[in-house]
Amino acid sequence: MSRTLALCFVFVGLTTACGGDKGSDANAAAVAEAEKVWQERCVTCHGADGSGNGPGAAALEVKPRSFKDPTWQSSVDNERIKKVIVEGGASVGLNAAMAPNPDLKDKPAVQEELAKKVRKLAQ
């Protein structure tokens, strides 16, 4: 590959990563908000690592499942995960202890990042 061509690739890479791309800024904000929501609202029951052992889970009649269960992971799609988060467990026939988060209804990017978080916790 010529030197000029190689430099050109580096330049394109840099402008994509840090150039004034509003889309990626907005996404970084969604990632940050999702992380905040996870820490502030979800960890209580689901546990920091998603295994379902948060302090709030002890008192629940139906315990949150472990997000680390590969069978469960492959049995649900992101649409369902997002529906449970926004509309609550009861909306899909799960226990109502999984409360709805209606303030996230108009924040699809945050919902998406929360779904990704739930997926990442499987690893």
Chain contacts with ligand HEC (rule: CB under 6 A): 37, 41-42, 44-46, 56, 60, 62, 64-65, 76, 81, 84-85, 89, 94-95, 97-99, 101, 114, 118
DSSP letter string over 20-87? S-HHHHHHHHHHHHHHHHIIIIIHHHH-TTSSS--GGGGG-SSPPPPTT-HHHHHH--HHHHHHHHHH
CB nearer ligand HEC, residue 4 or residue 123: 123
CB nearer ligand HEC, residue 7 or residue 29: 29
Nearest distance, CB of residue 106 and ligand HEC, angstroms: 15
Contact 49, 39 (CB under 8 A): no
CB nearer ligand HEC, residue 25 or residue 77: 77
CB nearer ligand HEC, residue 25 or residue 79: 79
Nearest distance, CB of residue 117 and ligand HEC, angstroms: 7
Nearest distance, CB of residue 97 and ligand HEC, angstroms: 4
Contact 117, 34 (CB under 8 A): yes
Nearest distance, CB of residue 25 and ligand HEC, angstroms: 23
Q: Which of 41, 57, 34, 28 is nearest to 120 (CA)?
A: 34
Q: Which of 100, 92, 97, 89 is nearest to 37 (CA)?
A: 100
